[in-house]
Amino acid sequence: MKNRLGFTPSRSIIALSALLALAACNNDEQSKNSITPQDRNPSLFFDYGSQWSYLDQGLAISNEWNQVGFDDSDWKNGQGIFFYGYDHAVEGNTILADYKAMGFVDATPSAYYFRKKVNVADISTLGDVYLNMKMDDAAAIYVNGQEIARSPLLPKYEVLTHTTSPLRYSKYGEDAEHTFILPSESFSQGENVIAVALFNQVNHRTNDVQFNVALNATFDYTGEPDGPYVTIGDTGEVTIDGINRNGLYSDTYTNISEAQVTVELPDELGSFSVELQNSYIPPEFQYEKPEQFFVTSDFEGQINALVYMLIEAGIMDKDYNWIYGNGHLFHLGDLFDRGAYVTESLWLFYHLENQAKVAGGDVHFILGNHDMMNFYGDFRYVHERYFENLSLMGKDFFELHSKNTVLGQWLRSKNLMEIAGDTLFVHAGFNLDVIEALENQTLLLEDINTYGRRHLDEGYVRYDDNGSLIKDAYYLPSRLYWDRSVPDGDLTQAELERGLATFGSSQMIIGHTVFDQPSYLYDYHVIAADVDHNQNFNEEGRVQGLEFYYNHYNHFVADKNLGVMRLPVYLTQPRQ
């Protein structure tokens, strides 16, 4: 081959030319690869504080309100943050109508409607996108008329109207940043509409609403692992969902025996593997008093403190193996709410229960009011991390512990109260109504736990036709996980001892009500075991519990600086 000047290029020159051509191709390819979906579709993505069309009249709305072709020319226009009842009154934000102040004759409406037109310039380059939302209280998201997602406080399959009320409001979830996955196939080339129905919990005592949205092409999960959530299918297949440090994951197994469940813990706590049980039978509620046991309560998802306590108390080793022999571990309710690691804490008790029974010991998981609340739909105290992660996973709160989940089945087998020899173990205590019902046998001792397990799905409140509370045998067991008559000193000494006698007991151990340390009440007939684990561990560097060994109670303390101490349990006065 000769060039235009008549020279024949050398092999080295030909090779160099080829390399240069290849480099040019690579540069072109890298240039193409460096162009992101956000670059290809600049009119699709937007930040917080964006403009939306909105409707805040509190009236029923056309079914086509979320469609591309809907005429929203008579809607208002505003810029996020949209709100009322918050301290967001700065330039650019938009104040919404307060329906409670508008005097609606019928049911107070709850819905606010938002629409935003976006453009997809190159659908071929578009992947799934991520809608970030800060809201109060709940929302449903639509793309081109198709519902894509609901936030965790909306029942998943309920038809939504302008008066739909979220399950409950939350004291902890109002600052959550929800992330919803919007699939690429929900968009079309050209003009699209993202629509949001925002719902206010009109029945709670606070009165506020907020709404602010951003849409991004990517999402990096930066939180701690969450889960696993294990679901049993109709044919026995096992699905394990959750979030690890890389984001969402989902694994499916043919049956329980094949399922591999690993619980990842936060910080440097490591992980442990769980062997799933095949069935869940309610435990006996009356049995001999163990020679050795440890009592704690109200850990509320504080997994760091829980792990530290169980290791220092000699109940498990650092590899999460039971080393307490034939000893018994009692948790007197309220593992749920407030803390960030409820699911991981549940799995730890589940895991230790399996191992304890093999060793001749046992784990007693007594149900408390916050455990119950998460089953019958009261999510006021749920940590914001669960709002965020459930939105990302596309689940509502009821799905976490439904009847076809492993943890849901396990928890539905638990007791409200247990009697070990002469000692009653219960979350809250009891009141005079419970005592009188047991004495006149309108409530039978053997029915209490059965009713309590029904409360998990049915709730506990019953009213007559006039709206008056029915204090019947179904309702009264709820006092065992709600009432504070005992720790508040509302019962006389004689009434307290009379109540214990109806349970065939002479002593009671309770949680539910915080004391500075495990304490005797009522002339040694009651021991209050609940302490503030959050403050104790995170601020003071210690944990506390109640230990029983051969007819003697100790106030157990494990301090990061002072080590393990076993102190006397002192008599104190009920909380006033």
pLDDT at position 41 is 84
pLDDT at position 315 is 98
H-helix or E-strand containing 374? helix 369-376
Contact in structure between 274 and 351 (CB atoms under 8 Å): yes
**Distance in angstroms (rounded) separating the CA atoms of residues 518 and 533:** 12
Position 19, amino acid? L
Contact in structure between 382 and 171 (CB atoms under 8 Å): no
Per-residue pLDDT tens over the stretch 318-350: 999 999 999 999 999 999 999 999 999 999 999
Tell me the two tokens of residue 352: 């230790």
**Distance in angstroms (rounded) separating the CA atoms of residues 335 and 347:** 11
Place of tokens 């829980």: 306
**Distance in angstroms (rounded) separating the CA atoms of residues 417 and 265:** 30
Please, what is the end-to-end C-alpha distance for the chain in angstroms? 103
H-helix or E-strand containing 399? helix 397-400
Q: How many other C-beta atoms lie within 10 A of the C-beta of residue 72?
A: 16
Name which of 161, 55, 157, 166 is nearest 106 in CA terms: 161
For helices 493-502 and 432-439, the axis angle rounded to 10 degrees is: 40
pLDDT at position 42 is 83
Task: Specify the pairing of strand 82-84 against strand 94-95.
Answer: parallel
- The C-alpha angle 144, 138, 59, rounded to 5 degrees, equals 70
DSSP state of 398: H
Q: Which residues of the chain have pLDDT under 70?
A: 1-38, 88-89, 91, 204-205
DSSP letter string over 211-224?
EEEEEES-----S-
Tell me the two tokens of residue 114: 């938002």
pTM of the predicted model as reported, rounded to 2 decimal places:
0.90
pLDDT at position 330 is 98
Contact in structure between 489 and 256 (CB atoms under 8 Å): no
Residues in CB range of 529: below 8 A, 6 or more apart: 295, 296, 297, 332, 509, 510, 511, 518, 545, 546
Residues in CB range of 10: below 8 A, 6 or more apart: none
Name which of 150, 122, 141 is nearest 193 in CA terms: 141
- Dihedral of CA atoms 557, 560, 564, 568 in degrees, nearest 10, equals -30
DSSP state of 65: T
Count the alpha carbons within 13 Å of 34 in the hemisphere toward its beta carbon. 6
Name which of 69, 140, 87 is nearest 111 in CA terms: 140
3-state SS class at 286: strand
pLDDT at position 524 is 98
Q: How many other C-beta atoms lie within 10 A of the C-beta of residue 500?
A: 21
Contact in structure between 527 and 519 (CB atoms under 8 Å): yes
pLDDT at position 546 is 98
Name which of 207, 201, 195, 214 is nearest 54 in CA terms: 195
Total number of residues shown for the chain: 576
Whether a cis peptide bond, with omega within 30° of 0, leads into 137 is yes
3-state SS class at 146: strand
**Distance in angstroms (rounded) separating the CA atoms of residues 202 and 310:** 43
Name which of 351, 398, 395, 128 is nearest 241 in CA terms: 395
Phi/psi at 164 (nearest 5 deg)?
A: -60, 135
Contacts by 231-234, CB closer than 8 A, 24 or more apart = 231/402, 231/404, 231/405, 231/406, 232/256, 232/404, 232/405, 232/406, 232/409, 233/404
Residues in CB range of 315: below 8 A, 6 or more apart: 294, 322, 323, 324, 327, 329, 352
Count the alpha carbons within 13 Å of 26 in the hemisphere toward its beta carbon. 6
Residue 425 zone, left/alpha/beta (φ > 0; ψ -120 to 50; rest): beta
pLDDT at position 16 is 38
Burial readout 250-275 (b: 16 or more C-beta within 10 A, e: otherwise): eeebeebeebebebbbeeebeebebe
- The C-alpha angle 374, 379, 380, rounded to 5 degrees, equals 135
Position 289, amino acid? K
